[in-house]
Chains A and B, each alone.
Chain A
Amino acid sequence: MTAAPDGGKTFGRDVPRMEDRPLVTGRGRFVDDIRMPDLLHAAFVRSAHAHARILGIDAEAARRVPGVAAVLTMDDLRPHLSGDRLVTALPSPSFRLDLHRPVLAFEETAHVGEPIAVVIALSRYVAEDAADLVEVSCEALPAVEDCRAALAPGSPVAHSSAAHNLVAEFHLGYGDVEAAFAGAAHVFREKLWQHRGGGHSIECRGLVARHDPVDDLLTVWSSTQTPHPARQILSDLLRRDPDRIRVVVPDVGGGFGPKLVFYPEEAVVAAAALLLGRPVKWIEDRREHFVATTQERDQYWDVELAVDADARILGVRGSMIHDHGAYSARGTNVPYGAAAAMPLPYMVPAYRLDVRCAATNKVPVTPVRGAGQPQGVFAMERLLDRAAQALGLDRDEIRRRNLVPAERMPYATPLKTRGGMQVVLDSGDYPGCQALALLRAGWEGFAARKATARAAGRRIGIGLANSVEGTGRGPYEQVRVRVAADGRVRVATGAAPMGQGTRTMLAQIVAEQLGGDMANVDVVAGDTAAVALGFGGFNSRQAVVAGSAAHAAAIAVRTRVLAAAASLLEASEADLDVEGRTVKVKGSDVTIDLGAVARAAAGLPGFAVPGGQPGLDVTESVVIDEMAYANASAVAEVEVDAGTGTVTITKITFAHDCGRVIHPGLVDGQVIGGIAHGIGNALFERMGYDADAQPVTTTLGDYLLVTAEAIPAIDLVHMSSPTALNALGVKGVGEAGVIPITAAVASAVEDALDDLGVTITGMPLSPAGLLARIRQATTP
């Protein structure tokens, strides 16, 4: 492979996003925009109980409603499926219970919102009317709400078939932790509660499934982040050749993690379309999204930090309990990601975190943007703040002493990824990044500003947090690049855009090699018909893995273009370049259209193929196993209203390094969006359940999403340490913004209240909770 382009024709430039024109002119096509004759609509009958035994389902009244085509339960579907459960969790030796989701609940329901039956009708209105009439008789069983109580002896069980609630347990670590703590000058301990909510993309989930009998093809248009895996699961479940299934991702109004999971509704709607011989649509509404789409929720951390007399870290240890929800929909990657993220930016000689995942009667937990990493960072940064405070050190100083220095890169940590590979921090200047953030934030001068504000009766504070994030999860993402007979460059992949500008990113990489004209590139993404293999969008991976494959394929196609053109023009390849839609002999007027080259390269019967290789068409799957580590330093400024407990974030300074930047505007957008998400996690988002595991925040009136007015001025600072792990030198950025925000905000709020000694040990902050702490500190 040739070296990566840097600030090229299209690579590295703020080219207009190719997604924007259709979207802003109302020509986007989301799944609910897909209409077709004979379309039926689905509504699900869902469990009202957190935990109950199903005694019987009476759908007769519902079936009699005019306009109802079918009411299906597991008993109706079972004969048509290979099994009655979705086995989708990533493998892990840590599992102690197999909790696979039923396609539709039969025997027992394990969380409110679990689908029990589906009504298929002429309209969603009729379907909902009929769904109201389906009688599910249930016997309520004791529900498990709190993940800590779930692990206590004598707790009720979340599944009556299970002997206990310990879904999985594992530890992560290395080094002699006991010795590190035995020899420590100081030890600090924090007990932390961390909560994150759901993904809450503007567009909820949804799909349309249609079987075409002419070519026996089941097409599923789904608002999913993972089309190829979805096709495989459907193929297994429906016992249908994967070539006879096409999963297509139309425009997607946000994913944020939960849409990477395959859901019961997808299986049921696809099966219903086959059974009924008519297309079926299901569009998840917001209330369903709260009770049926996966979330992240509670983690309880109990962690300790050991340092020497100079505040250098000797070891970190502790335990964490993770709310796993009712089923294993993805695996243990959220707690694993949290545990793995905790020590990463720092030199931590010994580490051990014991993690237990508890089954609860709540929606399954799977990754939301950040996937546990914000929690790990929060735990580490809280400990460092506590140590700095106790030792009389500045918060930036204790970090400076412990950050992995730039000179030690690549830095092999003793940690392992979930796939068992060693974690090697490939590149970056973490202390430099922190210094840059502090400089831009005016950290030095803040004490004076704070004193002035305090004198005027205002409480302002500043806080800092560092994070390092594993990006570009492998092993690969397949990309096909070709020059078509019309001269257009076609890019096809299973990589799944959900609003991040993936098409633009891929087109930039390909156009860089093939003429530099963005308008001449078409990208088909998120379509299983586009390429044979794929994964999709998650774990800040697509620029790294799909980008690398696109780069390799584009270079290979370029080589073929030049070879074929050289033969056609009777010129030397070295004298040729692709410019716009033509191949040109450098320094002359001699050109040939890309289309003409493509036609010639397709060959003629009985003639030699110009350039020797047929077709300007190459598919690449560049395998990248190692993750590329991106890093960030966030500084938050807040103002605390001590009368009401309200925290207002007044400024965020964010310095980060995602390697070589493909599109500055897209990177800014991803980082800012992540920061907004982090602010929501710090101040607003809370998925509430009562003691019986009934959800209590099931509308956007009760569940507080971050709104534009809570977003302060954001100052972004970019550093660029290209990684050697891929030819482009890029690292992922989709999750970067969110990861250090709760930690930085907590630090800032403590700073604003430093004279009161109020400590922040949980997220999100609630005004009532914070006020209670303030009043506790101020009333003698």
Chain B
Amino acid sequence: MKPAPFVHHVPRSLDEAVEMLARVAEDDGRILAGGQTLVPTMALRLARPSHLVDINTIPELTRIEVADGALVVGACVRHAAFHRPVEPGPLGALLATVVRHIAHLPIRTRGTMCGSLANADPASEWCLVAETLGAMLELRSVRGTRTIAADAFNLGYLETALAPDEMLAFVRLPLLPATTRFGFEEVSRRAGDYAQAMALAVCEIEGGVMRAVRLGLGAVEGKPRRLAEAEALLEGARPEPDLFRRAGAVASGLAEPVEADEEVAVYKRHLAGVVVERALLRAASIATDGSSHEIIRGVP
């Protein structure tokens, strides 16, 4: 489990990074962010990049701030940065809730939000958040800057719209109105494992009914998706367990797991309904039936 030979490049600035990337892109040059996915893949020799452009020492990429109604997160911001709310509104609380489901603490201190988005694992929590909230991604290359929506960026199962010479420099997550409620539910085999299914429900409750409902499902299909049919069912309706069960059934019906194993596919389709229902119960602050286990990780 030793990687094949590679050249390690250490740029000092974002501009220098994209220049280096442009030079080595042809030769399977890659960005090295937290390395929590890339390095193990290299150790198994499943990836053999001949050049790594290491962005870990670029100060401007550690940027995390609110600007123009969005939270801007640079490519070097680690998962662990979100353990405590990074902004006082519901978005900060949402990110702080979700981050605890990503891997284990040591991995969270290295892995990055942008690295997760660029890696586009179907079970990535950040990909689900970006999809559900409609994040905008800023891509840089020597050819210039372009900004695209998360949905257009993520092409499914480890595929993205990134060109070989392009890097994801910043992600912009829209702030959520102060009255927003959210619920996140994940099923995984062990604490810290990638999800088998997860759902994120976001809404406001006004005059006893749900508004601005966003419902995302992750880890079931090749990429996370919004569940428009279920959102329509919920929009303007009263938050009630029966309705949530129906929304879950809609999710199960829509889900098309990409599993070769039929037993796993059946299981994931079922889980899709369970996580959607439970995420909605959490968003509406209705206690789940108690059988779901919110796992508290070792977070300082």
Contact = CB atoms under 8 A, between A and B. Distances in A.
Contact of B291 (A285, A642, A707): A642
Interface stretch (A16-24, A152-160, A534-542, A764-772): A764-772
Nearest to A125: B2
B290 A458 contact: yes
A710 interface: yes
B290 A456 contact: yes
A772 B2 contact: no
A129 interface: yes
B193 interface: yes
Interface in A401-417: none
A130 to B, nearest CB: 11
Contacts of A319: none
B284 to A, nearest CB: 17
A129 B48 CA distance: 12
A704 B290 contact: no
Interface string A637-671: 00111111110100000000000000000000000
B282 to A, nearest CB: 14
B267 A768 contact: yes
Interface in A424-446: none
B270 A771 contact: yes
Contacts of A459: 291
A644 B192 contact: no
Secondary structure at the A interface, as helix, strand, loop or mixed, is mixed
Given A644-B271, A644-B274, A768-B264, A457 B291 contact: yes
Contacts of B267: 645, 767-768, 771-772
Contacts of A125: 2-3, 5
Interface string A616-655: 0000000000000000000000011111111010000000
Contacts of A216: none
Nearest to A457: B289
Interface stretch (B12-20, B174-182, B183-191): B183-191
B109 interface: no
Contact of B191 (A132, A701, A709, A767): A709
Secondary structure at the B interface, as helix, strand, loop or mixed, is loop
B189 A129 contact: no
B294 to A, nearest CB: 12
A641 B292 contact: yes
A128 interface: yes
A701 B188 CA distance: 12
13 contacts: A125-B3, A128-B45, A132-B4, A285-B1, A287-B44, A642-B291, A643-B291, A699-B40, A701-B194, A704-B189, A767-B189, A767-B196, A768-B266
Contacts of B295: 709
Q: How large is the interface on A (under 10, 10 to 19, 20 to 34, 35 or more residues)?
A: 20 to 34
A286 to B, nearest CB: 7
A517 to B, nearest CB: 40
A124 interface: yes
A459 B274 CA distance: 17
A327 interface: no
Q: How large is the interface on B (under 10, 10 to 19, 20 to 34, 35 or more residues)?
A: 20 to 34
Given A641-B292, A644-B274, 8 more contacts: A128-B2, A128-B45, A457-B291, A643-B274, A645-B267, A684-B189, A709-B295, A709-B297
B119 to A, nearest CB: 14
B143 interface: no
Interface of A: 124-125, 128-129, 132, 285-287, 456-459, 639-646, 648, 684, 699, 701, 704, 707, 709-710, 767-769, 771-772, 775
Given A287-B1, A459-B291, A646 B263 contact: no
A214 B263 CA distance: 64
B45 A648 contact: no
Contacts of B263: 768-769, 772
B246 to A, nearest CB: 15
Interface in B224-269: 263-264, 266-267
A457 B264 CA distance: 26
B173 to A, nearest CB: 28
Contacts of B2: 124-125, 128
Interface of B: 1-5, 40, 44-45, 187, 189-194, 196, 263-264, 266-267, 270-271, 274, 278, 289-293, 295, 297
A42 to B, nearest CB: 13
B258 to A, nearest CB: 16
Given A457-B289, A457-B290, A709-B295, A684 B1 contact: no
Contact of B190 (A287, A456, A645, A710): A710
Given A771-B267, A772-B266, A648 B293 contact: yes
A684 B191 CA distance: 12
A684 B263 CA distance: 17
A764 to B, nearest CB: 11
B45 A641 contact: no
B45 A707 contact: no
Contacts of A643: 274, 278, 289, 291-292
Given A641-B291, A771-B267, A707 B190 contact: yes
B187 A458 contact: no
Nearest to B271: A644
Contacts of A704: 189-190, 193
A684 B274 contact: no
B266 A699 contact: no
A457 to B, nearest CB: 4
A701 B267 CA distance: 20
A701 B290 CA distance: 28
A701 B44 CA distance: 13
A459 B3 CA distance: 47
Contacts of B193: 701, 704
Nearest to B189: A704
A684 B291 contact: no
A129 B190 contact: no
Given A124-B2, A129-B4, A709 B190 contact: yes
B137 to A, nearest CB: 27
Contacts of A644: 187, 271, 274, 292
Contacts of A709: 190-192, 295, 297
A646 B191 contact: no
Q: Which 9 A-B pairs have the closest CB atoms?
A: A768-B267, A457-B289, A285-B1, A709-B191, A641-B291, A643-B274, A125-B2, A128-B2, A458-B290
A285 B40 CA distance: 13
Nearest to B295: A709
Contacts of A286: 1
Contacts of A771: 267, 270
A140 to B, nearest CB: 21
A285 to B, nearest CB: 4
A124 B4 CA distance: 11
Nearest to B5: A129
Nearest to A286: B1
Given A644-B187, A768-B267, A771-B270, A707 B289 contact: no
A707 B192 contact: yes
Contacts of B45: 128, 132
Nearest to A648: B293
Q: Which of A132, A639, A767 has most B Cβ within 10 Å?
A: A767
Contacts of B3: 125
B44 A458 contact: no
Contacts of B40: 699
B100 to A, nearest CB: 12
Contact of B293 (A641, A707, A772): A641
Nearest to B291: A641
A768 B194 CA distance: 16
A643 B199 CA distance: 15
A457 B3 CA distance: 51
A519 B9 CA distance: 53
A333 B194 CA distance: 38
B276 to A, nearest CB: 11
Nearest to B48: A132
A128 B292 CA distance: 45
Nearest to A769: B263
A699 B292 contact: no
